[in-house]
Amino acid sequence: MERIPILRMGNFLLVTIQVDMHDQLALTLQDDLSERINATSARGVLLDISALDMVDSFIGRMIGTISGLSRIMDAHTVLVGMQPAVAITLVELGMNLPGVLTALDVERGMKLLRDRVASE
């Protein structure tokens, strides 16, 4: 079965989405991530979507769910790399991703995660 790889970097999990995601793949990623957070006691998830040229309501919902479930499991999720055209479209679509932490790039995202975890 097709899967999106989840890499471990110390306390954090790194997910880079580089394929045009169909819905089942998004659902599988959600399940895989919750299992990996549990198995590794990760404190943060970095979700890199810089390669995605569109985010529709289904993928948007997946992002919100991942953010919410990681919070419940004592981890933070930071979404990084959203392309400007994707951001504009997403807001016009009606999705503002409330509560989802974002950063412009991976470097800033990692810093945000480190700061969050250090302040707890």
Partner 1 sequence: MSSVLSSGTQPVRIEQDVVLARQVVRKAAIDCGLRLIDQTKLVTAASELARNTVVYGGGGDMDWAILEDGLRKGVRLLFRDEGPGIADLKLAMTDGWTSGGGLGLGLTGAKRLVNEFELDTAPGAGTRITITRWT
Told to check if 65 binds partner 1 by CB under 8 A, we report no
Residue from 28, 40, 89, 117 binding partner 1 (CB under 8 A): 89
**CA 82/CA 85 separation, integer angstroms:** 8
**DSSP SS3 for 40:** helix
Tell how strand 12-16 and strand 6-9 pair up.
Answer: antiparallel
Residue from 13, 33, 86, 110 binding partner 1 (CB under 8 A): 86
- For 36, the token pair is 């990996």
**CA 21/CA 69 separation, integer angstroms:** 20
Residue from 85, 96, 105, 115 binding partner 1 (CB under 8 A): 85
Contacting range for partner 1; rule: CB under 8 A; set: 35-43, 51-59, 67-75, 105-113: 51-59
Residue from 7, 8, 10, 24 binding partner 1 (CB under 8 A): 24
Q: Which helix (H) or strand (E) segment is 101 a member of? A: strand 101-103
Told to check if 7 binds partner 1 by CB under 8 A, we report no
Nearest to 109 by CA among 81, 73, 83: 81
Applying CB under 8 A, the residues found at the interface with partner 1 are: 20-24, 53-58, 60-61, 83-86, 88-90, 92-95
